[in-house]
Amino acid sequence: MASNTDKALELALEALERIATHEKECGERWAEAMVELRDLKVVTSNHAERWEKLAWLVVGTVGTTGAAAWAAMIF
């Protein structure tokens, strides 16, 4: 009977060690993922700012060209 109890205790302790190791590895991976996501957010924001500038340039050019064409037809 004591042998079964010792074996069960040993298995439980081994399981706890494996769980602790797994939690540590997952925590490290999570930290790495958070750093990557933070960097990705910065890169995406910079990329969006460039496209927004380009969009305003296109809108301004089309608006100016349209106004100039309209003025040329009127006058």
Which structural domain range is residue 62 located in?
A: 1-74
Which CA distances in Å does 51 have to 37, 44, 55, 57, 64? 21, 11, 6, 10, 20
**pLDDT tens profile 8-35:** 999 999 999 999 999 999 999 999 999 9
Dist. CA 26–CA 50, nearest whole Å? 36
Residue 3's pLDDT is: 84
Q: For residue 40, how far is the Cα from the chain centroid?
A: 5
Residue 65's pLDDT is: 97
Q: How confident is the model at residue 1 (pLDDT cuts 50, 70, 90)?
A: low
**pLDDT tens profile 56-66:** 999 999 999 99
Half-sphere exposure of 5 (CA within 13 A, CB side): 2
Overall domain count for the chain: 1
Q: Encoding tokens for residue 1?
A: 């009977």
